[in-house]
Structure 1
Amino acid sequence: MNGQFRYLTNLETSFKMVRWMAIIAVVGSLAFALGVAYWAFAEVSASRQKVYVLDNGKSIMVALAQEQNINRPAEAKDHIKTFHRLFFTLEPDEKQVEGNIREATYLGDRSVVRLYQDLQEAGYYGQLIQGNVHQKVEIEKVEVNFSQSPYRVVTSGRQLLIRANNITIRKLVTECYLIDVARTDNNPHGFMIERFKVVQNQDIETVQRSNQTSNL
């Protein structure tokens, strides 16, 4: 009788062990499945944040969309500097002037075209070419207000008119607004300049070429 009792006890213990092993196996499988699902979800989310850009058909660069947003203020300032360089840095060459202005108009709206037309009608570009004047711009400060769209921008710097005998230095201050647009080959930063105007552009100094300082 005691032997039979021990047999039943051992059998019950074995069933309990099998049951616990089955429970552990099921829990382990569920935990593994959940871990794999979480890893897959994280990988998909990360891949959606990546933008693949074809670099001249030769290589592929990966840029994180989040990092693009972080760099947006720097892109805005570079957009403004690029525009000013194209619009205000000119050589006494009609084709160079037309080429620079054409590239500048891709970065701005109709206000940029109107300013160019006003200067052209006033004979400004003709005087540069006839006088063999090299015009150069040096940007000193770009202030962009990102608190509200369109973003107000105030740019200040110096405009240099370089002639054979002297250099005229002008104080240049401009104002405009920036809006976000689609990126293109002609507008890689994805900004558009609106309501562009020259706030200040007056002579502050004329330096003789023989006495010019090294930083001009």
Structure 2
Amino acid sequence: MQTNFRYLTNLESSFRLIRFVAIAVIVLSVAFAAGIAWWAFDTVNKSREKIYVLDGSKSLTLALAQDMNVNRSAEAKDHIRAFHRLFFNLDPDETVIDSHVHEAAYYGDASVMRLYSDLREKGYFSQLIQGNVIQKVEIDSITLTGSQSPFTARTYARQLLVRANTITTRRLVTECNLIDIDRSDNNSHGFMIERLKVLENRDLETITRD
């Protein structure tokens, strides 16, 4: 009788040990699975927080999506720079001028084409072509009003008109509004220029080329 009682006691202890081991294995498995799931979720979230902005020099600049307001300001300025380089960097070739303006049109609304039409009607582009003038723009600074879209942007720049014998420097000041739109291959920053105006465009100096 005593032997049977001892056997039953040992059997109960063995079942208790097996149950403890099984529960421990289940808890550890759940904890391990939860740890893997948390790590995967955290990794995916961190990867989504990174966006790449294409700047004017065609290099990639890493920006954090969580600092969206700060980065949108930077993107807004780069959008303005890219537009001015397209619209105001011109060679004395009608095909090149039309190509630049066509690409610049994706950056803004009807006010961009209105400015282009006004310049064409005044014979500005014809004068560049006939005078064999190369026009370049150098951006000095861009100021933004507001910390997020919609922005009001004012651009201070210089235009260089390079002729065979002279180089004329002009002061160029433009103003526009910027609103958010969907990004696309033709507009990687996701901004639209509105109400583009040229506030100032006057000669500063003309020097003779050696």
Provide TM-score, normalisation by structure 1: 0.74
For 1:110-189, list aligned pairs within 5 A: 110-145=110-145, 147-189=147-189
Give, in whole Å, the separation in 2 of the partners of 1:79 and 1:127.
28
1:13 and 1:47, CA in 2 relative to 1: closer, same or farther beyond 3 A?
A: same
Give, in whole Å, the separation in 1 of the partners of 2:13 and 2:151.
76
- The residue type equivalent to 2:120 in the other structure is Q
Provide, for residues 106-151 of structure 1, a one-character-per-residue CA deviation record: whole Å limited to 9, x for no partner: 2111111111111122222222222232221111212334513212
Residue 197 of structure 1 and its aligned partner are, at CA, apart by 0.8
Residue 158 of structure 1 and its aligned partner are, at CA, apart by 0.6
For 1:54-93, list aligned pairs within 5 A: 66=65, 69=68, 72-93=72-93
Residue 5 of structure 1 and its aligned partner are, at CA, apart by 6.2
User: Which residue of structure 2 lines up, in the alignment, with residue 192 of structure 1?
Assistant: 192
Residue 29 of structure 1 and its aligned partner are, at CA, apart by 3.5
- CA RMSD, Structure 1 to Structure 2 (Å): 3.3
Give, in whole Å, the separation in 2 of the partners of 1:97 and 1:30.
65
Give, in whole Å, the separation in 2 of the partners of 1:80 and 1:17.
72
Identify the range of structure 1 (151-160 vs 29-38) with the bigger mean alpha-carbon deviation: 29-38
Residue 85 of structure 1 and its aligned partner are, at CA, apart by 1.4
Residue 36 of structure 1 and its aligned partner are, at CA, apart by 4.4
Q: Unpaired runs of 5+ in structure 1?
A: 52-62, 211-216
User: Which residue of structure 1 lines up, in the alignment, with residue 55 of structure 2?
Assistant: none
- The residue type equivalent to 2:150 in the other structure is P
User: Which residue of structure 2 lines up, in the alignment, with residue 58 of structure 1?
Assistant: none
User: Which residue of structure 2 lines up, in the alignment, with residue 59 of structure 1?
Assistant: none
1:12 and 1:203, CA in 2 relative to 1: closer, same or farther beyond 3 A?
A: same
- The residue type equivalent to 1:149 in the other structure is S
Provide TM-score, normalisation by structure 2: 0.76
User: Which residue of structure 2 lines up, in the alignment, with residue 20 of structure 1?
Assistant: 20
Residue 152 of structure 1 and its aligned partner are, at CA, apart by 1.8
1:26 and 1:166, CA in 2 relative to 1: closer, same or farther beyond 3 A?
A: closer
Give, in whole Å, the separation in 1 of the partners of 2:148 and 2:65.
20
Q: Unpaired runs of 5+ in structure 2?
A: 52-61
User: Which residue of structure 1 lines up, in the alignment, with residue 54 of structure 2?
Assistant: none
Secondary structure of 1:204's match?
A: strand
Secondary structure of 1:106's match?
A: helix
For 1:95-106, list aligned pairs within 5 A: 95-106=95-106
1:181 and 1:16, CA in 2 relative to 1: closer, same or farther beyond 3 A?
A: same
Kindly indicate whether the alpha-carbon contact (under 8 Å) linking 2:106 and 2:186 is maintained by their aligned counterparts in 1.
yes
Residue 178 of structure 1 and its aligned partner are, at CA, apart by 1.7
1:172 and 1:26, CA in 2 relative to 1: closer, same or farther beyond 3 A?
A: same
Number of equivalent positions: 199
- The residue type equivalent to 1:177 in the other structure is N
Secondary structure of 2:92's match?
A: coil
Give, in whole Å, the separation in 2 of the partners of 1:5 and 1:108.
92
User: Which residue of structure 2 lines up, in the alignment, with residue 57 of structure 1?
Assistant: none
Give, in whole Å, the separation in 2 of the partners of 1:193 and 1:25.
62
